Amino acid sequence: MIDDLLSQPEALDAARGVRGADEVTEALARVAWSVIADPGDAVAATLVREFGPVDGLRFALEAPGRSWPVIRAVGARRALDEARARWRQRADPAAVIGALRGAQKAGAQLLLPGEPGWPIAVDDLDAEAPMVLWVRGRAEFLTSSARVAIVGARAATAYGERVAADVAGDLAAGGTAVVSGGAYGIDGAAHRAALTVGGGTVAVLAGGVDRPYPAGHRNLLARIADDGVVVSEVPCGTAPTRWRFLARNRLIAALGQATVVVEAGWRSGSLNTAGHAATLGRPLGAVPGPVTSASSAGCHRLLREYNAVCVTSAAEVAEMLPVDARTSGSQEATDRGRVQLLRALSTRTARTEAELAQRANLTVERARALLGLLDLDGLVRRDGHGWRGVGAAPTS
Amino acid sequence: MIDDLLSQPEALDAARGVRGADEVTEALARVAWSVIADPGDAVAATLVREFGPVDGLRFALEAPGRSWPVIRAVGARRALDEARARWRQRADPAAVIGALRGAQKAGAQLLLPGEPGWPIAVDDLDAEAPMVLWVRGRAEFLTSSARVAIVGARAATAYGERVAADVAGDLAAGGTAVVSGGAYGIDGAAHRAALTVGGGTVAVLAGGVDRPYPAGHRNLLARIADDGVVVSEVPCGTAPTRWRFLARNRLIAALGQATVVVEAGWRSGSLNTAGHAATLGRPLGAVPGPVTSASSAGCHRLLREYNAVCVTSAAEVAEMLPVDARTSGSQEATDRGRVQLLRALSTRTARTEAELAQRANLTVERARALLGLLDLDGLVRRDGHGWRGVGAAPTS
């Protein structure tokens, strides 16, 4: 299909409409991928990683007889055959051209992995990272130095919406971008509060960025597209489906440096977002509520079963962010990181860098660097099991 | 003083009034200790441990010139001198006789450490264990096989009192004794609910068991003395003071196998009880509430800062109890203990027996015994750092 597309002036023209003149080939291939593969398709991701988007696409849509020496890299032959069958059904150059034209019409920008403006936070999703992102509005909020996902029940109570607004407003006023899903209830309260204080907010949609959903949030999403940013991995024109909502949740979790669930029923979809955050190693917070309220049962479940942090204010949410996201002075950040790391160390039990980073609310890279400094100061020691504090350091 | 007392027929008679004929000497000495020493007096506890209550009392009230070879055992000479000065001011045989007569009049029973009926749970307080306990009512609830301390703010909200009553009622109906402090608010709601369902409840007072406090709970405490038990470590006639309330809290925490705080302000006295529970290694639970309610701020603080377990129902509180307190069948208890222990083990990080016991909600003794069984089955291994799971065991 990619060669079909490259031979069509209309396709090249459509691609140039959203991309400028350069890198049209890779852009066309990645858009084609986002048309033929579902969000989070790990087989597609493997082909792209092994061969690049262009050759990967060629392989994906090849006649099955032709032999490529890649089966091993791609994994099970059967999974590949099944994926190819799925992809071929959707491999229509007109659909790719339609996606590009739709984006142009909606004023949507196309972001590709590795390019400037691409939010590298989503690369933490590895094989489930998006192929492309379609963006309407101020894309810079996707890479804000501080970003918190605030999610919760659509059927929120007045209490939940009030707390969501208080927390989101305070965070946004302090320069933290508020990431959510644009839904009724908690999501909407969080977006609105961020807009109200003139802060940044990111709405991650399950359908195309030209398909405001829910319909009742048409105006809100238009405001977000003006003063914040609306983003999706699926092409313009795509309707949201149950599967796409679930897949979308992983993007919300990945874009936030921490995820906070404000209100959620026992089986709320927000728990799915929380699960993604936990899988990604992102700090997870839950706002408690009355135990007599079914709308808080999911939050209490997160506190009990997922070891979520109990958060009651924006200040407590900010404590969940990596130290470097919370403060601008680098010496101050280093000092705070040292203190948190010393608190996270035990003199008795060796802890891995990943564990210490999580306990100290630091990125693993930062924790590693700081451990090196502490090692030079003789405050920590390392053995086969990990790091321990030495003597006078606070223990836990 | 003890020799004075033993030479007074009135003292012996008074002691026999609450004790029966035997062990009058030790009883008199311990009651004298409870008259002259404040609750939790560690210097007094050290003397009693080193010399027994009778000789310890002789030493405590000796003329300072006489030399005993015990200074080392007791610790700093100065602390001992100061303690002696305090004790001597109160060393009045008439006060001891008065305490015994008061108990007899109030129908209070005297419990001594090591005797049948003594709640060995309070011995976990070590040097802060009580010298004696005065008991009105059904002393057997002090040694119920399942006991939960439910405490909280005096200035409780309707929400807090409702949750306290629901949780305490359900626990008491299931055979768990509800331990609390007899105060207004959460304490009262918990006691009342336990009485209402015909269950066991323990009110631990800061003053004498003949001094109902607060006055507005005179009837409630009388009901508890009939159908539950009222207990105190201070002699009859003693008024509650701020210090005695704080000292009393450690007894509540020690008598409960777990402590649950239902509602508490940011600086509530219940947090003091929670701190004692944590120090004793007892599981600590907190009931969440609206973040907009100042009466729940202390509970949220426990969840954030003390790693308390979020509990929303009696069933969740019951999960905090040692497995042996939750089930009667010993094979079932063993099976459940194994499963919890396997869940608590990590294949990567070695954990100590104490840590595993806490994670698995088992006593350390039980955890140790079960680890031995698992070791025989090849499911765990031990190294210098503690225990790890092996291969197929669930990891965390």
| Backbone phi, psi, residue B109, to 5° | -100, 145
Residue B294 per-residue DSSP state: G
Tell me: pLDDT of B209 over 90: yes
CB B134 within 8 A of CB B235: yes
Amino acid at A201: T
Name the one residue in this structure whose structure tokens are 């703010």: B153
Chain A nearest CA to B202, separation (Å):
25
- B276-290 pLDDT per residue, tens: 999 999 999 999 999
Tell me: pLDDT of B371 over 90: no
What residues of chain A lie within 8 A of the CB of B314, using their CB?
A: none
> pLDDT band at A110, cuts 50/70/90?
very high
Starting at the earlier edge strand, list the strands of the sheet with B109-111: B109-111, B133-137, B229-232, B201-204, B177-180, B147-151, B258-261, B284-286, B309-310
Adjacent-strand bridge partners of A284: A259
What residues of chain B lie within 8 A of the CB of A352, using their CB?
A: 348-349
Those residues whose C-beta lies under 8 Å from the C-beta of residue B121, and which sit 6 or more positions away, are B143, B147, B254, B255, B257
Tell me: pLDDT of B71 over 60: no
| Whether A310 and B312 lie within 8 Å, measured CB to CB | no
Chain A nearest CA to B163, separation (Å):
8
What residues of chain B lie within 8 A of the CB of A150, using their CB?
A: none
Q: Which of A378-382, A383-387, B242-246, B330-334 has the lowest mean pLDDT?
A: B330-334
| Whether B159 and A312 lie within 8 Å, measured CB to CB | no
Residue in B309, B349, B351 nearest the CB of A304: B309
Mutate to test the interface with A, among B167, B310, B346 (most CBs of A within 10 A): B310
Tokens of residue B33, six digits: 């200790």
Tell me: pLDDT of A199 over 50: yes
Chain B nearest CA to A4, separation (Å):
51
- Residues from A contacting B (CB-CB < 8 Å) are 159, 162-163, 287-292, 296-297, 300, 303-304, 309-313, 316, 348-352, 355, 385
Mutate to test the interface with A, among B162, B291, B346, B353 (most CBs of A within 10 A): B291
CA A148 to chain centre: 10
Angle at A356 between CA A353 and CA A361, to 5 degrees: 120
Residue in B289, B304, B348 nearest the CB of A290: B289
> pLDDT band at B46, cuts 50/70/90?
confident
Cβ atoms < 10 Å from Cβ of B51 = 18
Q: Which of A116-120, A232-236, B51-55, B67-71 has the lowest mean pLDDT?
A: B67-71
What residues of chain A lie within 8 A of the CB of B310, using their CB?
A: 288, 300, 303-304, 310
Angstrom distance (rounded) from CA A338 to CA A374: 8
What residues of chain A lie within 8 A of the CB of B386, using their CB?
A: 349
Angstrom distance (rounded) from CA A283 to CA A363: 11
| Whether B288 and A292 lie within 8 Å, measured CB to CB | no
Tell me: pLDDT of A74 over 70: no
CB A163 within 8 A of CB A187: no
Residue in B159, B313, B385 nearest the CB of A385: B385
| Whether B385 and A350 lie within 8 Å, measured CB to CB | yes
Adjacent-strand bridge partners of B309: B285
> pLDDT band at A62, cuts 50/70/90?
confident
Residue in A290, A312, A351 nearest the CB of B300: A312
What residues of chain B lie within 8 A of the CB of A287, using their CB?
A: 291
Cβ atoms < 10 Å from Cβ of B58 = 17
| Whether B349 and A348 lie within 8 Å, measured CB to CB | no
Chain A nearest CA to B128, separation (Å):
24
CB A390 within 8 A of CB A379: yes
> pLDDT band at A271, cuts 50/70/90?
very high
Angstrom distance (rounded) from CA B138 to CA B35: 24
| Whether A313 and B292 lie within 8 Å, measured CB to CB | no
Share of chain B above pLDDT 90, in %: 63
- How many pairs of residues across A and B have Cβ atoms under 8 Å apart? 71
What residue ranges define each of the domains in chain A, with the CATH number in brackets? 2-104 (no CATH), 134-321 (3.40.50.450), 327-389 (1.10.10.10)
- A303-328 pLDDT per residue, tens: 999 999 999 999 999 999 988 776 44
CA A48 to chain centre: 20
Name the one residue in this structure whose structure tokens are 């609910």: B193
Tell me: pLDDT of A331 over 70: no
What's the pLDDT at B30?
95
Angstrom distance (rounded) from CA A106 to CA A211: 10
Cβ atoms < 10 Å from Cβ of B307 = 10
Mean pLDDT of A140-162: 96
Q: Which of A53-62, A93-102, A130-139, A271-280 has the lowest mean pLDDT?
A: A53-62
Mean pLDDT of B254-274: 95
